[in-house]
Amino acid sequence: MKSQRHYLEGQRWEFSPAVDGFETTFVIGGVGEAQPEFGWNERKYDVYVQYNAAARTLIPADWDGVVLSLTDEGMDRSVTKLVASNVDLPWWWVYGRRIRSKEDEPNSSGVLMCDTVSDGLEPRFEEAKQTAVALRMQWESLRKHHEKFDSRMNLKPSSSIAESWQRIESWYAENAYSLDNALGPGASTVKIEEFQDAIGMKLPEDFIESVQIHDGGGWSVPWRYGELLSLNEILEQWRLYSDSQARGKYATEDWKAEQIKGQIKPVFWNKKRIYVSDNSGEHLTLDLDAPEDGTYGQIIDHSHEVGPMDVVASGWGEFLRNLVADLESGKYLYVEFTRSVELVEDLERNQR
């Protein structure tokens, strides 16, 4: 049924029923006309509802409101009275957060489609309160973290692959959780030889030494490299991508690698790039096709969007050695709320 009201951008409407934690009015921030040719048959309204004063002690300091999307019918079911017109919203209303400058602008905004205004608000308030709790827990964890790690100086680098693994496991056991169920047992010599035969290449000695200690197991490699893969999983992915490339579906000649830093061949991917971790297409990659000024077995940071980006270590042994140094110097912190190991500088940025 066609709405009897005419809703315009900048109008402030009172709505009902009221919802705990929010003002009782909203402002129409944007109007999207129907576009039947794209399957969009109804006009849509993006409305902004602010948290009330009582809620602000329970939510993150910079959270200001919620953006909802409604149709004419949803508006009719929600509104009770027009309060004002020509209301100007701040530029950051689409994010629901008070943002100091365009330089701090987030990459995305969140708009919740709902049947009525009241329906969409209660879950958002709960989310805001949970986020505030998580931030307070992070702050307390950061405080304790600095007390523990700021005094640590002149840590000795690992002298072997075995020592690196021992120190990584010790750090996790003391500061996060046990890796007993997150790291697999070592691969046998036969298994390693079968893997090398399958890919037709020799693995670097430091990677062989490492996989003889731990062959994958599900450990999430800090901080964004995803799951450490076993030889079986590495081979499965290698075959998948090799087959896709042969069929012209992956890493074809027109896939450009244009964001490379360091000694990496300007190729998106080939069979001599071995993905050893996986985070939804983001990989630590064993480079067995390095240029003359690179190193056989160097570790590349690979993005599924732009391909190889940077050399993060000259080899797997150096990667593990650097990770030990970063863990023991306090670069990372375990966050209980998300059960993940995060960069301290990222957590501190979130607290600002």
Q: Which residues contact 128 (CB under 8 A, 6 or more apart)?
A: 21, 51, 55, 58, 59, 60, 63
Q: Which amino acid does the sequence have at 187? A: A
Residue boundaries of the structural domains of the chain? 12-138, 157-329
Query: What is the rounded CA–CA span in Å between residue 192 and residue 215?
Result: 10
Question: How many whole angstroms from its chain centre is CA 229?
Answer: 19
* Residue from 228, 147, 121 nearest 183 by CA: 228
Question: Terminal CA-to-CA distance of the chain, rounded, Å?
Answer: 48
- Give the Cα separation of 279 and 216 in Å (integer): 14
d(CA 11, CA 27): 6
Domain 157-329 is classified in which CATH homologous superfamily?
SMI1/KNR4-like (3.40.1580.10)
Low-confidence ranges of the chain (pLDDT < 50): 1
Amino acid letter, 329:
S
Strands 340-343 and 332-335: antiparallel
User: What does the pLDDT look like over 249-308, one tens digit per residue?
Assistant: 999 999 999 999 999 999 999 999 999 999 999 999 999 999 999 999 999 999 999 999
Q: What is the pLDDT of residue 235?
A: 98
- Return the pLDDT at 192: 98
Quote the pLDDT of residue 36.
Answer: 78
pLDDT of residue 9: 96
According to the model, what pLDDT value does residue 68 have? 96
- To the nearest 10°, the Cα dihedral for 208, 209, 212, 215? -60
State the pLDDT at residue 352.
64
Instruction: With H, G, I as helix, E, B as strand and everything else as coil, classify residue 191.
Output: helix
Q: By three-state DSSP, how is residue 163 classified?
A: helix
pTM: 0.73
Residue whose tokens read 């939510």 = 59
Contact, 12 vs 83, CB < 8 A? yes
Q: Coil, helix or strand for 220?
A: strand
- In this predicted structure, what is the pLDDT of residue 152? 66
